[in-house]
Amino acid sequence: VLSKVFGWVQRLFFKFRSSNSIVLFYGESIKEVFFKKFPNYSSNNVICIDHPYDFDTDKLISIKRNPLVVSGIGTGLINKNSHYIYKLASFFSEEIKGNKIKFQHIGNMSNEVKSFQNELVSDMGDGRFMDRETFENQLVNSSMFIYFFEENSLYDLCPSGTFFDAIKYEKPIISFKNPFFKHYFDKIGEIGWQFDNIDDIKDFLFYIINLDDTSFLKITNMITTNLQEGKSILSLDEIEKKFLIQLKKYAK
């Protein structure tokens, strides 16, 4: 109910906002999708910046394998397709037993998602409060982060805080193709892999866990370099510069 009320308030604001009000969007892809979905709303007086995020951390380790730890992170919700991780893991029962790959979710799960749970996915923090240090340690010890946000979903218009966790902890991203991730892959470079569907993700993971060490390091080192560059591109200093340049247009 609250989300519906909030959506109604937002529509009223965009329909009747004053000519001197300024709208701030967190992400170029979000702004583009928004005005495609709502072409009758005024796009005047709009500022667009990347979501501010503090990338400082002293907890970084190289990408591990044996097992390759594939982690979903954040609150598990149906509208994020968080339940897909259980289906994905079901293709890898032998590889999980053989310690070649591990699937886990770091964060609480909604009751809807819990109904999909199986023994092939470790649920880290499910039903329990997880302190920040424990949460960070779980992130750091992951090999890759996985996201199941689909195109034409809520997450076309919602910045993902967990995406910025991937940049911070230098973890390659596995995701479905959608406007948000496409924008940042274009902006930063190859910071992981994007796929059309879960079968393609499955095939990729079978490929990556069977690479020799030299090939694995070559691929992941390139991605780590791009993730490190992403911290500079998305730094608070860069965001501040872009914000002030845009704000000057509306200064009176």
Tens-digit pLDDT profile for the chain (252 aa)? 456 665 666 777 777 777 778 889 999 999 999 999 888 888 888 999 999 999 999 999 999 899 999 999 988 999 899 999 999 999 999 999 999 999 999 988 888 998 999 999 998 765 666 788 888 999 999 999 999 999 988 788 888 889 999 999 999 999 999 999 999 999 999 999 999 999 999 999 999 999 999 999 999 999 999 999 999 999 999 999 999 999 988 876
Cβ neighbours of residue 4 closer than 8 Å, sequence gap 6 or more: none
Q: What is the pLDDT of residue 3?
A: 60
- Annotate 100-134 with b (16+ C-beta within 10 A) or e (fewer): bbbbbbbbbbeeebeebbeebbbbbbbeeebeeee
